[in-house]
């Protein structure tokens, strides 16, 4: 009986941790210097649909992508600069949006995110 209660409490704590995870409500990516526009990203809305580790990761000692570590997040632009060959932001966003998350598909057209 105690094990079941402990498991339920642990599951609830993890669920609340995801639900109350930190971070801004909205993040603005400024791609104007690369000929683009400002892109508003609904961070809080995405947090409600998925785990942080699906987007966030760290940089390992060898400079490659490492696993997600809570509290070690850096600004995406510190490694990912739109227009560089290492930029997977478009691929990751569009891939997830096309597949749909929790039964919801997201925007995939250029002007859906890059408002003129």
Q: Quick one: DSSP state of residue 104?
A: B
CB-based burial label for 113 (10 Å; 0-12, 13-18, 19+): buried
Grouping H, G, I as helix, E, B as strand and the rest as coil, residue 27 is strand
Assigned token pair, 51: 């785990």
Residue 25: half-sphere exposure toward Cβ, Cα within 13 Å: 0
Residues 28 and 39 sit within 8 Å (Cβ to Cβ)? yes
Grouping H, G, I as helix, E, B as strand and the rest as coil, residue 38 is strand
Task: Tell me the domains of the chain and their CATH numbers.
Answer: 24-113 (3.90.10)
Question: pLDDT tens digit string along 46-77?
Answer: 988 888 888 888 888 887 888 888 888 777 77
Assigned token pair, 26: 């909205």
Question: pLDDT tens digit string along 11-53?
Answer: 444 444 444 457 889 988 877 766 778 888 899 999 888 888 8
The model's pTM = 0.64
CA dihedral 102→38→88→99, nearest 10 degrees, is 20
Question: pLDDT tens digit string along 70-100?
Answer: 888 777 777 776 556 556 677 778 888 888 8
């Amino acid at each position: 009986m105690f094990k079941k209660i402990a498991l339920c409490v642990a599951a609830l704590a993890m669920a609340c941790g995801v639900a109350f995870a930190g971070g801004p409500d909205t993040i603005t990516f400024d791609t104007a210097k690369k000929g683009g526009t400002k892109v508003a990203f609904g961070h809080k809305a995405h947090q409600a649909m998925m785990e942080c580790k699906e987007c966030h990761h760290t940089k390992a000692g060898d400079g490659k992508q490492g696993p997600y570590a809570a509290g070690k997040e850096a600004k995406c632009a510190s490694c990912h600069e739109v227009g560089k060959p290492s930029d997977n932001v478009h691929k990751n966003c569009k891939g997830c949006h096309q597949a749909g998350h929790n039964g919801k598909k997201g925007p995939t057209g250029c002007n859906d995110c890059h408002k003129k």
